[in-house]
Structure 1
Amino acid sequence: MKKFLVLACVVLSFCIVSAQEIITDRVNDIVVEGNNITSSEFIIVRSGLTVGMKLTSEDMKQAIKSLYSTKIFYQVEIEPFEGQYGTSLRIKIKENVRINKIIIKGNKKVKEKELLDSLKIQAGEFLSDYARFKIMNEIRDYYHKKGFLNVELKDSVGDVSEESSVNLYYQVKENESVRVKKIEIFGNFKITDKKIKSIIKTKEKAFLQDGLFKEDEFEEDKITILNAIKDNGYPDAVLDSVVFKYSFDNKFMFVNIYVTQNQRFIFGDVEISGNDFASNKEIERRIAFKKNMSYSQTLMDKTISSIYEYYMDRGYIHVNVRSETDRINDTMNVKLNITENGLAYINDIIILGNEKTEDYVIRREIISKPGEIFKRNDLILSHTNLFRSGYFEDVQINPQPTDDMSKIDLAFTVKEKQTGEFNIGGSYNQTDGLTGNITIKISNLLGKGLSSSLLLEKGASLTNFSFGFTEPYLMGYPIVAGTEVYYRTSDKTYYYDRRIGGSLTSGLYLSERMMTKFYARYKLEQVYTYIDFTDSQYLDSWILSQLGRKEILSEISPSIVRDS
């Protein structure tokens, strides 16, 4: 038996060798012809052929296949020839030219930039029949997504330049976009067509509705329709098919959607297990459905999410909530299996991404502290505080596991934004005439969270200067301290008014979690009003009695501010 197997293997090996015809026992040389752009060295290396190798017909097939796979060549031939010192190989190729520009003409309702950005093949790549076909399809698909289902396209290739590149032209005839005349859903006995049409993006042509059909939106609509049916007690519903019909002039579309609802189910009993920390009543308060309601996966997901939030707000970040359903006739009984695991404590808070803002400025906005129990709600408030500061355009929070499962690190990654503002403006009115102004505001001065502002305003009858400075955390405590000084003059028709003053502002949190602060502002101001007595006949006697003297005015104004 063994002798027979050995003999069979020898015969099989002989057949395989015979099938691979030996061209030559040794390749003496390899030459390349027809290449203008691609180097001969690259072509030889990519072919896999080498001088000195034993050449078979299979080697030649693989070499041709490998060169075609580069998409650089549209024709490859390999032929052996007898040279002075033996058999050599000649690789004859014809290169694809490169695409210099893709030019789209005839497009009126869709911008050329939009079309070019939608293409996967771009200028600079090699031109091939496949590339032309792919670009054509991508332009057509983009038009279909925009509702132009009747678009017509023609392509052409320009002359080859000295750099072996060509322009690729696409002539577009957009035609009229197709409008949806009617949408009908067949097989939905529980939900009316009217209700389904109200929740999908594709609309019928009507008053104030364009009825434009967009393929990408319709794909989303199919999911929406199916989910709506499933959420009304039909978890096994399927969307069987969609049939499109067109009017004789191809301007209107009739959409027929066929669904199968299958059996209807209602919610039954709920069994809760694994909850040692939370009582059954606490869990039941977070169940979004009631017994005998139509089964809905959305309500199931909402329930699971609510239970997760309850536990994570209390430090159980590793909690696991699984739902199981048990079908009995038309009833869907639900089992909620909770694995609480242990409490999670905050090990460390890591600040990343801040190049200008000091770490402590970020840390003071974070409510969560190392050593405390992890609470999801504190994380949300910390995220809100960092955005509310106005220093960042993006804030990402990523819990990171540690070697100790009961402890986690919190990584806050911020992306800073420009916090300075510089404005130059001007205005004109009959009272003050022509006025110019310069405003400078900095809300994160030196990266320390300080804010400062400067206003310079000057006109024919108006002068206004003010400077303000605010420290939001005085000496590291959540107490706002701010000051402002100003100088204002106004030269009216009958009198001149000058005001020099300043103010001190202090504020503190009444409730950090509710983002509510109490402010007290003290203002001290010197007022001087002067009148040209040649015009005094036009003024009231009481006003005259107040003019021509300096007064010191002071004011205290309390306020409560809630940042929503």
Structure 2
Amino acid sequence: MKKRNRITSISAGVAFGLTAALTSASAMANSLIEEITIVGAQRVEPETVRTYLTFQEGDNYSSRQLNRSLKKLFATGLFADVTFKREGTNLVINVIENPVINRIAFEGNRKLDDPTLDSEVTLRPRVIYTRTRVQQDVERILTLYRRSGRFAATIEPKVIQLDQNRVDLVFEIEEGDPTGVEKIRVVGNKEYSDSKLLDVVRTRESRWYNFLTADDNYDPDRINYDKELLRRFYLSRGFADFKVTSAVAELSPSREEFFITYTIDEGPRYEIRSVNIENSLEGLQDESLEGVSDIEVGDWYNADEVDDSVEDLIDNVGFQGFPFVKVSPQVDKDTENKQIDLTFNINEGPRVFVERININGNFRTLDKVVRREFQLVEGDALNAAKLKRSKKRINNLNFFENVQVAQSPGSAPDQKIIDVTVEEKSTGSLSVGAGFSTEDGPMVEFGISEANLLGKGQNLSLSANIAAEKTSYNLAFTEPYFLDRELAAGFDLYKTTQEKQDSSSYDVSSLGFALRASYPFSDHMTQAWSYKLDETTIENVASDASSLIKSQEGEEMTSSISHALTYDNRDSRVAPTEGYRLRVSNTVAGLGGTVYYLRNQVTASYYYPLEDQWILSTKGRIGHIVGLGEDVKVQNRYFLGGSTLRGFEDSGVGPRDSSTSDSLGGEYIVNGSTELRFPLGLPNEYQISGVAFSDYGTLTELNPTDSKTIDNSALRASVGLGLSWVSPMGPIGIDWAFPVLEEDHDKTENFRFTFGTRF
């Protein structure tokens, strides 16, 4: 109310000045102006004032000309007031100049710092002060606070008068509390419940457990994003006519929370009746397009699968020598039978080339770091599928908060300019942690890393993990484009010590380094090589340890080279829900050093979504190690149990000394797990899921052996249930497992608990 009254008084004052001036002008009409005198000008030259007048000395008085002159003088923003006064045939123009801003300050702002606010306001020191521009800047700052979820924020501009007609401008800010979301309602949904749809949108209702996220603060931009998320959700499940008819956000009278209502129209659910490909390209065989699309008759319509099929068809046709191609999906709906006839029309596309690629917004990241992720270069034929994959590759760098790729006309009709706009985010991290695991006991952790070192895309990390039974230190560096090629190269320096007294009556420590390199064969296949030099010491062997353990005491130097071939088409490497991963690896030791062996291993995993958030997965491993001219050392053997075979202790399965119960390790291993991850009916904000699993495997073969060695290759298996919680304090896991196939000498364990925290 104070602001409104002040603005009203200002307007009234200006109006009064204009009225008085025009009244005086009316009295002077049709009189000759012999002299014009400028009074009150300090910074502004009198001649500058004259340039804004629409009349000159020698002209007759005219109320119209005086009115126009007044408006032009006020429009300059240089003057707080202007009056005309007649003294005989002399016209006196009295001006009061607006002050100059000496300094701009912000008070009361804690959530938004001074540089952020300063970048938003338009006024600057040494700029003319005007009330209009101040009010505009107040609105700009308020908009900034509203975007950050603070709709209760108030701003009071204060002016401090200084000498020489200067002022200090102070924005006094009362930020207020974040404006939360009290309730989210969905109207019109029949197929899916409110709770299901609330899991789809990003905005969350304000609850105590959301203190680590800002998603429960109202953000109008996020509401638009939520509308798109709802649309994608329904279109990927067969609802081809779905639309969000309205999204209304109502602010409570207290201005402390919002009530959001989404009104939707689901429409009918369609299934695919037919899938056809119409090809109009000469020389392209229709048979070569069979099987490219994964969409089958009888499937529910899925807009995401349609987009994927378009991309796959463009790639397939492009590889066959047709770079300029346009694939248009045609969706014909039979609303009566709720079926869709889907046709992909393949036509020759416009002959358009990439003239230039512009990178914008990367203040720290070098241009080439972004540019090398492009699958297009200047001069290439413009390919929509490659452009889409290029954007995905840039996003996968995880260097940017937002990535936008747009096209603009080039210098010729067949030329396009690609504009890439990125918004950088922090890529460095400092972590300190504490926790407990059944395997390693109490632990503390320290880590520092930078994923975009010096803006070159390089990764540098230093970590230390100190636990009751295992301590490790590691320094790692990776250059993702070594020698400016798509070759990731790096090194590791490490030192580890592990107490294995409970399972094998000895301690082991390792000190070494590794050199590694990997490169892609295709979008999903990668080949990797590494060299490792490692000094391992078996020490603190118990006096009553197995004789086979005692014979291994001392230091060994391992010089080894490894090779791995990996095929990975999972939808996510962090939390996969669909796809599979297959890895074949080989390691040869004996290129120097004192250890000689050959290790071959195959691992595989497969993920299949049964329903939303119901993920069935299976994993398996087959490994074999054989000594080259000597027996395999204990530190190089396989061990099975604990996290690799739940229901059994660490190293609880495999060859064992019958008199000491020491685990001796094995040279041949087969193990796997089948797991079903499912929701528990709790809100997604809790991030708690249930797990049902069955683990199985065996570990056998040991050389040398003695009369006390127990080596049974029988299959072991367990079943169990678990809970997984990504808590505010860190990840927590609880597993209850029960062996269903075991041997008398195995060591079992029914309960496993892991806890870690970062702060």
TM-score (norm 2): 0.43
Describe the shift of the 1:104–1:23 C-alpha distance in structure 2 as closer, same or farther (beyond 3 A). same
Describe the shift of the 1:68–1:131 C-alpha distance in structure 2 as closer, same or farther (beyond 3 A). same
Q: Is the counterpart of residue 32 in structure 1 residue 35 in structure 2?
A: no
Q: Is the counterpart of residue 285 in structure 1 residue 293 in structure 2?
A: yes
Aligned with 1:255 (options 252, 255, 259):
259
Aligned with 2:248 (options 241, 248, 253):
241
- Whichever residue aligns with residue 266 of structure 1, its letter is R
Aligned with 2:51 (options 38, 45, 53):
45
> Structure 1 residue 166: deviation in Å?
0.9
Deviates more, 1:210-219 or 1:370-379: 370-379
Deviates more, 1:147-156 or 1:321-330: 321-330
- Whichever residue aligns with residue 328 of structure 2, its letter is V
State how far apart, in whole Å, the 1-side matches of 2:522 and 2:79 are. 68
The 8 Å contact of residues 181 and 258 in structure 2, kept in 1 or not, is answered as: yes
Which structure: larger Rg?
Answer: 1
State how far apart, in whole Å, the 2-side matches of 1:106 and 1:151 are. 11
State how far apart, in whole Å, the 2-side matches of 1:274 and 1:319 are. 12
> Structure 1 residue 73: deviation in Å?
1.9
> Structure 1 residue 104: deviation in Å?
2.8
SS of alignment partner, residue 129 of structure 2: coil
* Residue of structure 1 in register with 2:77 after alignment: 71
> Structure 1 residue 242: deviation in Å?
3.3
Describe the shift of the 1:411–1:330 C-alpha distance in structure 2 as closer, same or farther (beyond 3 A). closer
Deviation digits for residues 137-177 of structure 1 (CA, Å, limit 9, x no counterpart): 4444444444444445444321x323422112333444544
Aligned with 1:59 (options 60, 65, 75):
65
* Residue of structure 2 in register with 1:266 after alignment: 269
After superposition, residues 329-478 of structure 1 pair within 5 angstroms as 331=338, 333=340, 338=345, 340-341=347-348
Describe the shift of the 1:400–1:78 C-alpha distance in structure 2 as closer, same or farther (beyond 3 A). closer
Describe the shift of the 1:92–1:165 C-alpha distance in structure 2 as closer, same or farther (beyond 3 A). same
State how far apart, in whole Å, the 2-side matches of 1:557 and 1:176 are. 59
Describe the shift of the 1:287–1:519 C-alpha distance in structure 2 as closer, same or farther (beyond 3 A). closer
> Structure 1 residue 93: deviation in Å?
2.1
Describe the shift of the 1:202–1:47 C-alpha distance in structure 2 as closer, same or farther (beyond 3 A). farther
Describe the shift of the 1:387–1:331 C-alpha distance in structure 2 as closer, same or farther (beyond 3 A). closer
Describe the shift of the 1:233–1:33 C-alpha distance in structure 2 as closer, same or farther (beyond 3 A). same
The 8 Å contact of residues 311 and 317 in structure 1, kept in 2 or not, is answered as: no
SS of alignment partner, residue 66 of structure 1: helix
Deviates more, 1:221-230 or 1:121-130: 221-230
* Residue of structure 1 in register with 2:195 after alignment: 194
Describe the shift of the 1:334–1:80 C-alpha distance in structure 2 as closer, same or farther (beyond 3 A). farther
Describe the shift of the 1:265–1:49 C-alpha distance in structure 2 as closer, same or farther (beyond 3 A). farther
* Residue of structure 1 in register with 2:279 after alignment: 275
**As a proportion of its length, which structure holds more helix?**
1
Describe the shift of the 1:511–1:120 C-alpha distance in structure 2 as closer, same or farther (beyond 3 A). same
> Structure 1 residue 351: deviation in Å?
12
> Structure 1 residue 328: deviation in Å?
4.1
Number of equivalent positions: 448
Deviation digits for residues 252-295 of structure 1 (CA, Å, limit 9, x no counterpart): 6362526253x7233365686753247496598265996665xx
Describe the shift of the 1:243–1:397 C-alpha distance in structure 2 as closer, same or farther (beyond 3 A). closer
Describe the shift of the 1:213–1:52 C-alpha distance in structure 2 as closer, same or farther (beyond 3 A). farther
The 8 Å contact of residues 519 and 561 in structure 1, kept in 2 or not, is answered as: no
* Residue of structure 1 in register with 2:96 after alignment: 94
State how far apart, in whole Å, the 2-side matches of 1:188 and 1:69 are. 55
Describe the shift of the 1:183–1:284 C-alpha distance in structure 2 as closer, same or farther (beyond 3 A). same
The 8 Å contact of residues 479 and 506 in structure 1, kept in 2 or not, is answered as: no
Q: Percent identity?
A: 15
> Structure 1 residue 102: deviation in Å?
2.8
TM-score (norm 1): 0.54
- Whichever residue aligns with residue 310 of structure 1, its letter is D
* Residue of structure 2 in register with 1:221 after alignment: 223
After superposition, residues 459-498 of structure 1 pair within 5 angstroms as none
> Structure 1 residue 337: deviation in Å?
7.0
> Structure 1 residue 235: deviation in Å?
3.0
> Structure 1 residue 41: deviation in Å?
2.7
- Whichever residue aligns with residue 166 of structure 2, its letter is S
Q: Structure 2, unaligned stretches of length 5 or more?
A: 1-25, 361-369, 398-402, 423-452, 454-478, 490-514, 534-556, 574-759
Describe the shift of the 1:59–1:330 C-alpha distance in structure 2 as closer, same or farther (beyond 3 A). farther
State how far apart, in whole Å, the 1-side matches of 2:194 and 2:45 are. 65
State how far apart, in whole Å, the 2-side matches of 1:480 and 1:176 are. 47
State how far apart, in whole Å, the 1-side matches of 2:293 and 2:27 are. 79
- Whichever residue aligns with residue 185 of structure 1, its letter is V
Q: Structure 1, unaligned stretches of length 5 or more?
A: 1-19, 294-298, 354-361, 416-442, 444-469, 482-504, 524-552
The 8 Å contact of residues 31 and 91 in structure 1, kept in 2 or not, is answered as: yes
After superposition, residues 481-560 of structure 1 pair within 5 angstroms as 511=521, 557=561, 559=563
State how far apart, in whole Å, the 1-side matches of 2:309 and 2:407 are. 21
Q: Is the counterpart of residue 106 in structure 1 residue 108 in structure 2?
A: yes
State how far apart, in whole Å, the 2-side matches of 1:25 and 1:182 are. 71
Describe the shift of the 1:266–1:189 C-alpha distance in structure 2 as closer, same or farther (beyond 3 A). closer
State how far apart, in whole Å, the 2-side matches of 1:187 and 1:399 are. 40
The 8 Å contact of residues 280 and 346 in structure 2, kept in 1 or not, is answered as: no
State how far apart, in whole Å, the 1-side matches of 2:174 and 2:378 are. 65
State how far apart, in whole Å, the 1-side matches of 2:56 and 2:378 are. 65
